[in-house]
C-alpha cells in the first residue's frame, strides 16, 4: 500500500473513532437541553399540593409478582419513594441515604412501627424482577421495606396522587427526589426533598404519628426550593449545594484535543510523503 493510501485509510479510521468518542457527549448535550423542560418551581408546587391528600387504593406488584393494595399499609405510618432501576447515580444514592435513615429510625422506634415502599415508575422496565435485582444489589432486606411495581395504566394516577413529577429524557428521566410520609389513614403529611435524606426530616413527624398525635401538613415552599433535584445538576453532599455537571464539557474538550493531535500527526505524515516524493524526483533527474 502506498503512503498516501495508508494515510487516507488511517484518517478514515481515526475519524470513525473520533465520532464514537464524541457520540456520548452529543447525546448528553441533547439530554441537557431537554432538562430545561421540567420546571423546578412548578414541580415543587405540584408536590406540595399533594399534602393532606388521601392516597387512592392502587394495586401494585411486589418483588415476587404478588398483588399488593396500598390500603394494606394503613394502620401504620408509611414512607414512599419513587425510583427507576435504570438510574445508576442518583436513585441508588438516594436509596442508600434513605436506607441509613430508616435503619436509624428503626433502632429508635422499633422495626415494625412503620413501613417503607419504593415504587418503580419507569414502566414496563421497572418490573418486579428488576426491582428485586435492584434491592438485592443494594442489600435492602428489611422486612418492613417493599419494592412495588405499578402497571403502565396505574403509574400515572399513582404519581399524581403523590405529587411526583417526572419527565422522560434521552438519558433517562428528570424527576423530583422526594420521600412522602403517609399517616396511618393513608394521608400525605410530609414531603421530604433532596438526595440526602436526614433523620430529623422524617424522625420528628414520625414520632408524633407513632404517639397518636395528628400531624398537620406543613407547607414550606420557599425554604425547600433549592432542595429539589432536577437531573441537569449534581448534588454535592459535602457543600450541601448543587453544582453543574462538567462531564459534558470534559468529554467535548477531550474529543477536540484528540482531533488536534491527529491533525498534527497527519500533517507530519503528509510532509514526510511530500519530502519522499521530492527526493525520488531528484534522484530520477
How do residues 214-272 score in pLDDT, each as one tens digit? 888 875 444 455 555 544 344 333 344 434 444 444 455 566 777 787 788 878 888 88
- String of DSSP letters for 135-189: HHHTT---TTEEEEB--HHHHHHHHHHHT--EEEETTEEEE--EEEEE-TTSBEE
Peptide bond into 124 cis (omega under 30): yes
Higher pLDDT, 284 or 157: 157
Q: Give me the pLDDT at residue 53, please.
A: 96
How do residues 67-102 score in pLDDT, each as one tens digit? 999 999 999 999 999 999 888 777 888 889 999 999
pTM tops 0.75: no
Q: Is the pLDDT of residue 28 over 50?
A: no
Question: Residue 7: pLDDT band by 50, 70, 90 thresholds?
Answer: low
Q: Give me the pLDDT at residue 232, please.
A: 36
> Of 184, 186, 183, 127, which Cα lies nearest the Cα of 161?
186
What is the distance between the alpha carbons of residues 256 and 261, in angstroms, rounded to a whole number? 9
CATH architecture assigned to 40-231: 3-Layer(aba) Sandwich (3.40)
C-alpha cell belonging to residue 7: 494515510
Instruction: Say if residue 68 is exposed, middle or buried (CB neighbours under 10 Å; 0-12, 13-18, 19+).
Output: middle
Phi-psi region of 13 (alpha: psi -120 to 50; beta: other; left: phi over 0): alpha
How do residues 102-143 score in pLDDT, each as one tens digit? 999 999 999 899 999 999 999 999 999 999 999 999 999 988
Q: Give me the pLDDT at residue 61, please.
A: 98
Q: Give me the pLDDT at residue 268, please.
A: 83
Domain residue spans of the chain: 3-35+246-284, 40-231
Amino acid at each position: 500500500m502506498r503512503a498516501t493510501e495508508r494515510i487516507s485509510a488511517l484518517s478514515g479510521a481515526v475519524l470513525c473513532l473520533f465520532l464514537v468518542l464524541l457520540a456520548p457527549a452529543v447525546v448528553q448535550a441533547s439530554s441537557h437541553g431537554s432538562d430545561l423542560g421540567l420546571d423546578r418551581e412548578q414541580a415543587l408546587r405540584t408536590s406540595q399540593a399533594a399534602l393532606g391528600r388521601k392516597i387512592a387504593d392502587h394495586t401494585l406488584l411486589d418483588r415476587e409478582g404478588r398483588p399488593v393494595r396500598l390500603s394494606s399499609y394503613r394502620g401504620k405510618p408509611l414512607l414512599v419513594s419513587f425510583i427507576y432501576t435504570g438510574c445508576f447515580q442518583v436513585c441508588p444514592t438516594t436509596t442508600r441515604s434513605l436506607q441509613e435513615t430508616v435503619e436509624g429510625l428503626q433502632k429508635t422506634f422499633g422495626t415494625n412501627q412503620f413501613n417503607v415502599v419504593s415504587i418503580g415508575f419507569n414502566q414496563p422496565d421497572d418490573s418486579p424482577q428488576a426491582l428485586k435485582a435492584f434491592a438485592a444489589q443494594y442489600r435492602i432486606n428489611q422486612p418492613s421495606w417493599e419494592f412495588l411495581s405499578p402497571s403502565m395504566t396505574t403509574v400515572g394516577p399513582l404519581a399524581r396522587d403523590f405529587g411526583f413529577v417526572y419527565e422522560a429524557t434521552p438519558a433517562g428521566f428528570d424527576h423530583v427526589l422526594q420521600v412522602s410520609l403517609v399517616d396511618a389513614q393513608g394521608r400525605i403529611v410530609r414531603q421530604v426533598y433532596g438526595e440526602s435524606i436526614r433523620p430529623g426530616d422524617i424522625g420528628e413527624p414520625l414520632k408524633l404519628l407513632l404517639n397518636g398525635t395528628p400531624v398537620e401538613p406543613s407547607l414550606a415552599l420557599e425554604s425547600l426550593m433549592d432542595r429539589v433535584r432536577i437531573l441537569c445538576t449534581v448534588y454535592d453532599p459535602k457543600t450541601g449545594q448543587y453544582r453543574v455537571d462538567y462531564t459534558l464539557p470534559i468529554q467535548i474538550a477531550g474529543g477536540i484535543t484528540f482531533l488536534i493531535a491527529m491533525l498534527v500527526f497527519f500533517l507530519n505524515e503528509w510532509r514526510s510523503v511530500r519530502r519522499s516524493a521530492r527526493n525520488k524526483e531528484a534522484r530520477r533527474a
